[in-house]
Structure 1
Amino acid sequence: MAVSLQVIYPVSDGSTFDFDYYLSTHFDLVGEHMGPHIAATTVTRGVAGGPKTPPGYHAIATITFADQAALDAAMKASGPVMADVPNFTNVNPDVLIGEVVS
């Protein structure tokens, strides 16, 4: 069964997020270190939380893996990716690992 890893960057007072760095440099690291194990990626930039409501999240990255073994292998290789987070944000991201059901 496919599994997903979602990395969720919430907006809070004083939080910062460099989207240009994230898309170029950070995702290059994701591809380099975790890429062989990844089936698909989607990055969503927060633009609104509803009509006339600011977004609650800077971004959500969804990374899909063929199965738990692929996710486990990617996580073992993720050290340089994790170390890069302070280079684009001061947010401590939330993480959700789940089964892809649809």
Structure 2
Amino acid sequence: MIAIQGSILLFLALVGCETGRPKFADAPRIGMFRVSVLYPNGEGKTFDFEYYEKKHMPMVASFLGENLTLYEVEKGVLGRTSGEKPSFLAIGYFYIDDINEYNKAIAQNRDTIINDFNNYTNIQPIIQISQIRKVVHNDAKRTKNEN
């Protein structure tokens, strides 16, 4: 019975996968846009990661709706060398398909977003919107890790 259940679980894990590897339909792709929200490090700067991850980013993501493919949160840990502080305490990324839809959603919710800053930081973020031009996956590394 346990062997049958294990076989069923293995089969279900592989369904929809090519050669046993999951497909990442939500992965960044060429032509997509990435909105980077950078929080510079510095003397007296504060940042509440728990609030940012659990409240702020999901709130903004909900405003973006179906235009949003995925979002990420990064915590800066080091600068260029092991003893150097990171340039940014945190970076948030939103991967979107349509800049106009993004701008519309942000404009409609601007006050709510800005008023929420005080709940997690005293940093004025830097915003940059970039178009993804190339995406490369290291298949050699994936194959090596699977063996």
1:4 is displaced (CA, Å) by 1.6
Deviates more, 1:59-68 or 1:78-87: 78-87
Question: What stretches of structure 1 move > 6 A for 4+ residues in a row?
Answer: none
Q: 1:63 aligns with which of 91, 94, 98?
A: 94
Confirm whether residue 72 of structure 1 aligns to residue 103 of structure 2: yes
Within 1, Cα distance between the matches of 2:59 and 2:50? Answer: 14
- Higher relative contact order (CA closer than 8 Å, sequence separation 6+): 1
Q: 1:16 aligns with which of 46, 57, 65?
A: 46
Quote the sequence identity (%). 27
> Could you tell me whether the CA contact under 8 Å between 1:37 and 1:73 is conserved in 2?
no
Structure 2 length-normalised TM: 0.62
The one-letter code sitting in structure 2 at the alignment partner of 1:60 is I
Q: Give 1 or 2: higher strand fraction.
A: 1
Deviations 1:43-83 (A, max 9, x none): 11100012321111111111111122332333234322232
> Could you tell me whether the CA contact under 8 Å between 2:61 and 2:71 is conserved in 1?
no
> Could you tell me whether the CA contact under 8 Å between 2:76 and 2:87 is conserved in 1?
yes
Relative to structure 1, the CA distance from residue 34 to residue 78 in structure 2 (aligned partners, 3 Å threshold; closer, same or farther) is: farther
Larger of the two Rg values belongs to structure: 2
RMSD of equivalent CA atoms: 1.6
> Could you tell me whether the CA contact under 8 Å between 2:40 and 2:90 is conserved in 1?
yes
1:93 is displaced (CA, Å) by 0.6
Confirm whether residue 54 of structure 1 aligns to residue 85 of structure 2: yes
Structure 1 length-normalised TM: 0.86
Q: Give 1 or 2: higher helix fraction.
A: 2
5+ unaligned residues in a row in structure 2: which ranges? 1-30, 135-147
Relative to structure 1, the CA distance from residue 78 to residue 37 in structure 2 (aligned partners, 3 Å threshold; closer, same or farther) is: farther
Q: 1:83 aligns with which of 98, 115, 133?
A: 115
